[in-house]
Chain A
Amino acid sequence: MPEMTLIEAIRQGMDEELERDKDVFIIGEDVGKRGGVFRATMGLFEKYGPQRVIDSPLAELGIVGTGIGAALYGMRPICEIQFADFIYPAFNQIVNEAAKMCYRSNGDWTVPMTIRAPYGGGIGGGLYHSQSVEASFTHIPGLKVVVPSNPRDAKGLLKSAVRDPNPVLYFEPKKGYRLIKGEVPEGEYTVPIGPAQVSRPGKDLSVFAYGMMHYYTLQAAEKVAAEGIDAEVVDLRTLYPVDRETILASVRKTGKALIVHEDNLTGGYGAEVAATIAEWGFQDLDAPVRRLAAPDVPGVPFSHPMQDWFMPNPDKIAAAIRDLASF
């Protein structure tokens, strides 16, 4: 299997979907001639032309609103939001239009739209180019939310998102675009939206993570393994719908749960995982559920000391694992 970076896998996924279905098109700021701010769409404009890789004005609600309209038409738009931080001008379109369209029309209308957005800190992006926004959307029934953590899943989940008849938010850990490398199967495959995956089986405790934090968690698990702690790592991959079965099965096995995300703590996705375990897995617990998340501050600060303090990393995750393991 060829090895590639996360961003190459995402690009290949889009390329293949554009090739496969002429109703698929990409729309976003600088996705065309420039090839995307992170080069996610590089080469696609040249290959598919300006009708299918559409440079939009700086207008997020316009991009998403147009995407919804085109999806109602029966097309399969891939809307790129340049940074997840910029998704909020389109929040109304996503929450009030895309998420409710099927419901309000009793299934007559569908919105087969994918919204891609790079999220997360660690690149010195500062307050408005570093946010993790997933929890704003996992609260909204009618939307699916996925966050890949490796190239194989990134490509497979992207293809599933494009083919899904519902609106899918696809958040990409941008710090991992070129940092995260991995094998990608040759030929056609998809990764289904929904199931989480046990990415490292273990017996002492369960660590739930996604995106960049999953990548770090695997590193942390290796660190503590040398000390004799056998952590099970679960890559949540799809945040909505919630894969309760996989979460609860892991807790049943290990009796301890740690959730890691780089979004801030309060009201973050970890709260939903913790509540799921408390509600349906309480009898399996041998320790309190723990969360390792960013502090509750309005954004990811720019300066490196502050950014590093803000972000969970393999050392912090390893420390949290040790702490929970010793309970």
Chain B
Amino acid sequence: MEKREHLDLYFQMVTIRRLEERAAELYQEGKIGGFLHLYIGQEAVSTGVISARQPEDRIITAYRDHGVAINCGIPARVVMAELMGKATGCSKGKGGSMHMADVTKNYFGGHAIVGSHLPLASGLALGDLYQHNPRVTVCMFGDGATNIGFFHEAVNLSKVWNLPILWLCENNQYGMGTAVERASAVPEIPQKAEGYGIPNSRVDGMNIMEVREAALEIIKKIREGGGPYFLEAVTYRYRGHSMGDPERYRKPEEIHHWQENDPIGIYRRYLVDRQLASEEELNQKDIDAQTEIDEAVQFAESSPEPAPESLYQDVFVEP
């Protein structure tokens, strides 16, 4: 990897972090309403995996989707505008936090019903198989989704039809407030893939280079016709499930323990230790990310609200 690429990935991770920190503030100020699920702590997973895809490979994810949007190339200002429900957002204010998407970037969206997008991933991949397109669909979901029926039908289908899908489970330890071992009959989540005969492995989701290396190799295998693959990225969300989560299900020490292995810190050390980037260069990226987010907030705040009557638009597409 070239230095430029490393710096870009680092920039993406810091941008996500700053974007979400600002989003949390704006939520508390009442400028973002509804529900807000922050990705903070998990940045290495999405950044690592999406850096390993080809632009034509598809990404589809659940509702914790702001970071994925940034990684897929949606500008921070467009994400921020959507969070505020503005007409300039990527869903023109119809979707909000959980519905970031951009078809031109092969980002098929955040999806708000847990697990509901997994069968859609099967369909996208079926399209590739049908058209003989050597593309891969990366379907991201949380540990909680592996307990829901959608998961089992979609994963079974993917194996039966040998679909080109990377099932990427982001195990952040909790489905809302319920720990994995309290919700999943098998706490070792890859066992579920094993049950369907799908090759699987686990990676440290706090370490972007490990995620990226694993994803590069897996995506290559899938593209060559290897069929579906299940990757568990072990990670942790620092913030609550959504804003307003009292977090009675975990202790602050647990959060601090994970924060010692912060994904941005790990990557920073990696880059400096190997002399792939200097502290000064990384500091500059920190500043650039902050500037990007400041501008994004300004853009979003000054963007117009959607016209009320635009709610009638796009119910159907005209034949």
Residues on A lying within 8 angstroms of B by beta carbon are 25, 51, 54, 56-57, 59, 61-62, 64-75, 77, 89, 92-93, 96-97, 102-110, 141-142, 144, 163-166
Given contacts A56-B157, A70-B124, contact A65 B119 (CB under 8 A): yes
Contact of A61 among B95, B124, B150, B317 (CB under 8 A): B150
A104 vs B124: C-alpha distance in the bound complex, in angstroms?
Answer: 18
B7 to nearest A CB, angstroms? 31
In contact, A71 and B123 (Cβ under 8 angstroms): yes
Residue ID in chain A nearest B313 by CB atoms: A106
Docked-complex contact A65 and B317, CB < 8 angstroms: no
Given contact pairs A102-B314, A103-B94, A106-B91, A73 touches B123 in the complex (Cβ within 8 A): yes
Question: Contact: B123 with A65, CB < 8 Å?
Answer: yes
B-side contacts of A25, CB under 8 Å? 130
Q: Within 8 Å CB of B213, what residues of A?
A: none
Listed A/B pairs (30) with beta-carbon separation below 8 Å:
A51-B130, A57-B153, A57-B160, A61-B149, A61-B150, A61-B153, A62-B153, A62-B157, A65-B116, A65-B150, A65-B154, A68-B119, A69-B120, A69-B122, A69-B123, A69-B126, A72-B124, A73-B123, A77-B123, A96-B113, A97-B113, A97-B116, A104-B91, A105-B91, A106-B94, A109-B101, A109-B103, A110-B317, A142-B315, A166-B317
Closest Cβ of chain A: how far from B148's Cβ, in Å?
10
Least CB distance, A19 to chain B, in whole angstroms = 17
User: From B118, which residue of chain A is reached at the shortest CB distance?
Assistant: A65
If the complex has contacts A104-B95, A106-B313, are A72 and B157 also in contact, measured as CB distance less than 8 A? no
Number of A-B contacts (CB under 8 A): 130
A-chain residues with CB within 8 Å of residue B319 when the two chains form the complex: 163-166
Quick check: B103 and A75 within 8 Å, CB to CB? no
With both beta carbons as reference points, the residue of chain A lying nearest to B113 in the complex is identified as A96
Measured between C-beta atoms, what is the minimum distance from B156 to chain A in Å?
A: 6
A173 smallest CB distance to B (angstroms)? 25
Complex CA–CA separation, A96 to B128 (angstroms): 24
Contact A62 B156 (CB under 8 A): yes
- Give the docked Cα–Cα distance between A64 and B153 (Å): 11
Report yes or no: A105 in contact with B101, Cβ–Cβ below 8 A: yes
Complex: A103 Cα to B306 Cα, angstroms: 14
> Which of chain B's residues have a CB closer than 8 A to the CB of A110?
317
Most buried by B among A70, A107, A166: A70
B119 pairs with A62, CB closer than 8 A:
yes
Q: Is A67's CB under 8 angstroms from B99's CB? A: no
Which residues of chain A are within 8 angstroms of B126 by Cβ–Cβ distance?
Answer: 66, 69-70, 73
Which residues of B from 289 to 319 have beta carbons under 8 Å from A? 313-319
Chain B residue numbers with a CB within 8 Å of A56 are: 157
CB pair B123–A70 under 8 Å, yes or no, is: yes
Cα A165 to Cα B149 with chains together (Å): 28
CB distance from A134 to the nearest CB of B (A): 18
Q: Give the complex CA separation of A57 and B95 in angstroms.
A: 33
Q: Is B268 part of the binding interface, using a Cβ–Cβ cutoff of 8 Å?
A: no
Contact status A69-B119, CB under 8 Å: yes
